[in-house]
Amino acid sequence: MSARAGPDPGAAEASVAWPDLRGRLERAGALAAELAAAAEERAHLARRLEAALEVRRESVRQGAALDELRRRLERRRARADELLVASRRAAEGVERRREQMQAQIERVLPLSRALASAHRQVQEAKELKSTEKARLGDLQRLLRTRQQSMVAQVAALYPVRVFRELPVAENHHSRTNGECRTPSEENGALPQENGNGTHLLSVIKSPHVGPLTFFGWQIGKPRTKQRTYSHKELQRSAAVLGYAAHAVLLIASYLDIPLRYPLRFGGSRSYVGDRLPSAEASSVGSTKHRSVGNADSKLTDYPLFLEFQDDSTKASYAIYLLQKDTEQLLNYIGAESSGRNAFGNLRELIRIIQSDEYLYI
């Protein structure tokens, strides 16, 4: 087929439609460009939307956190209000306590001043007491020195000695109203007996120091029992007991001690008193454990001598009471009795009073 062949009608239509096709192609390219721009705009909008959503989500999270913070703040405000109320109440309580303390201080302050004044007075009293105590101690020593001097005079008047301590001349020739007696004869210097024949003054023998001598006469238990004694022996016994009673009475007066059993000195006719019914005087054993000092009972005198007495019971009880008086004097100065021995107690009493320790008892 040659190129110079006649014109083809399809080709004419194609040549006629080309401008329109190009316009269409241009419009299609424009549409494609617009579509690409729209897609890009869409992508851009999507990114913006995603960013906005992210901001929104962050805003929501921050809002939630802010709400939590607000709730915490509210709780803290409520707690602060409670604390403020408690603080106000505590302040009111403190104020009330302060007022109460102030009132107590106002009440206690005068008492404190009074206590301080009383304390000063007590201190002054203690100082005065110390001074008076020292002065009293000096006076007591002076008094006891004087008592020692007066008791020494009694000891010189009525000496109580151990028989073996006497000088040889005095041991073999004891003084008995001007006549000399040997020790064996002197053993009966205090002869008295009861109804059974036992010697009344055997209770005054010292169990520790042996025979004693009083006023130069030996005191001890006779070697042999006798049922009868001479008038001189009875007088000597009564005189020795009377002198012993006088010595006890003098020492008690010097020490200012009221004797539990009062003594009535009359030389060889001395008596010891006891507040017991006279009907009970015949029972010495029952009266030794009976209480004394009863105001309802009367004072009964018991003789310290056997002469002119039908019964030696009263005289024996009188010697027992004399021994109890010497025990009382020993107990007063803080000493113990040496036993059932009035003369031994008297000797111990004089020894203690004349010692240096007596000044500081």
Give residue 178's pLDDT: 31
Task: For Cα atoms 253, 256, 258, give the angle at the middle one, nearest 5 degrees.
Answer: 85
Give residue 238's pLDDT: 84
Residue 89 structure tokens: 């109440």
In CATH, the number for domain 158-360 is 1.10.418
241 CB neighbour count, 10 Å cutoff: 28
Three-class SS string for 284-320? HHHHCCCCCCCCCCCEEEEECCCCCCCCCHHHHHHHH
- In terms of pLDDT, which residue wins out, 128 or 177? 128
Q: What's the rounded Cα separation, in Å, for the pair 93 and 131?
A: 54
Give residue 80's pLDDT: 93
**How much is the mean pLDDT over the chain?**
75
Give residue 214's pLDDT: 75
> What residues have CB less than 8 Å from 160, skipping those under 6 apart?
212, 213, 214, 343, 346, 347, 350
Give residue 73's pLDDT: 93
Residue 106 structure tokens: 């106002």
Q: How many CA atoms lie within 13 A of 355 on its CB side?
A: 12
Q: Which of 151, 134, 135 is nearest to 355 (CA)?
A: 151
pLDDT digit string (tens) for 321-333?
999 999 999 999 8
pLDDT band at 9 (very low <50, low <70, confident <90, very high): low
Q: How many CA atoms lie within 13 A of 40 on its CB side?
A: 5
- In terms of pLDDT, which residue wins out, 361 or 1? 361
Give residue 291's pLDDT: 42
Q: Is the pLDDT of residue 164 over 70?
A: no
> What residues have CB less than 8 Å from 55, skipping those under 6 apart?
none
Q: What's the rounded Cα separation, in Å, for the pair 268 and 88?
A: 101
pLDDT mean over 45-62: 91
pLDDT band at 71 (very low <50, low <70, confident <90, very high): very high
The whole-model pTM stands at 0.53
Q: Is the pLDDT of residue 29 over 50?
A: yes
pLDDT band at 30 (very low <50, low <70, confident <90, very high): confident
Q: What's the rounded Cα separation, in Å, for the pair 292 and 229?
A: 34
Q: Is the pLDDT of residue 283 over 90?
A: no
Percent of the chain with pLDDT over 70: 70
Q: Name the most confidently modeled range: 15-29, 140-154, 270-284.
A: 140-154
